Structure 1
Amino acid sequence: MPRTTAALLLSASFAMSAQAAQVSLPQQATLYKSPSCGCCAAYADYLESRGVAVQVVQTQDLGETKSRLGIPHGLGSCHSLEMDGYVIEGHVPGAALDRLFTERPEVAGIALPGMPAGTPGMPGERQQELTVHQFDDESTATFMILPAEAG
């Protein structure tokens, strides 16, 4: 293969990799949270820093909201989010959001149960791997596992 062709293929490959790394999240989201939760507001700020306009809905009955959104028992966190046809539960890191909106799997949503330290909106350093779950009306499964050092 001539050098010029190889160089063109290599630069095209780099350009495609750069495009894949710049996943565009949906422009809008609705975040449901308790009025007193500061980490939920910090997660909304995180999404806004990624270009998402977040409408925050304060509610005293998150249980009803989670039930309406179809979040399975055991996958709950402190806030719930609706974004472009998906439900996103908890402090889900950007890598999982990027994968969700790149691949667009046929699921109702993804969830990171609990409030793990070092995730977007949560203080501290992350010292554990994170299992992000996918769910629909009938089942749950692992969506992705993020190593302790990934964010």
Structure 2
Amino acid sequence: MLRPLVAATLIALGGSSAAFAAATPVTVYKTATCGCCGEWVKHMRDAGFAVKTIDLEYPQLEAKRRQLGVPDAHASCHTATVGGYLVEGHVPAASVRKLLAEKPAIVGLSVPGMEANSPGMGEHKPGTLRVYRIERGQTQPKTYALE
């Protein structure tokens, strides 16, 4: 029942999800020693994104976060940029695709900390992972999606 709807959505977006995702490169800033960051990169590549990684020492990663405007409340172990947006932490590829398709007037998305059931952190339990919006001047996190 959902397959025709998904297929129609992908056609409307210009083809397969892999083709859609590959159209926009992802740059990931991380430390060389973070294994879960590597797993998230694999998740994004498996979803069809063209991912470039830049390994930084932790102090430089923190400086990069500040430069990009990641609020401390949203911080995680890696920071990515995609299509003019920030993606902080283990945000699922589906949420990134949704972000790129909808183009909301926000800074980006985050999964703060290191959620155990997020991509790259272990088995995912659908409907349990809260993805947050990053907005300028934000005082309270707002949910973007429940993945």
**Pair in the same fold by TM > 0.5:** yes
Which runs of no fewer than 5 residues in structure 1 stay unpaired?
A: 1-13, 147-151
Percent of pairs identical after alignment?
30
Structure 2 unaligned regions, length at least 5: 11-15
Deviation at 1:57, TM superposition (A): 0.4
Confirm whether residue 101 of structure 1 aligns to residue 100 of structure 2: yes
Matched-pair contact (CA < 8 Å) for 2:111–2:131: yes
Contact 1:116–1:122, Cα closer than 8 Å, also in 2: yes
- 1:111 counterpart = 2:105: no
Write the mapping of 1:2-151 to structure 2, written as runs, cut at 5 A: 17-21=6-10, 22-23=16-17, 24-25=20-21, 26-60=23-57, 61-126=60-125, 129-139=128-138, 140-146=141-147
TM (norm. structure 1) is 0.77
Contact 2:43–2:93 (CA<8 Å) still a contact in 1? no
RMSD between superposed Cα atoms in Å: 2.4
TM-score normalised per structure 2: 0.79
CA shift in 2, pair 1:17/1:69, >3 Å:
same
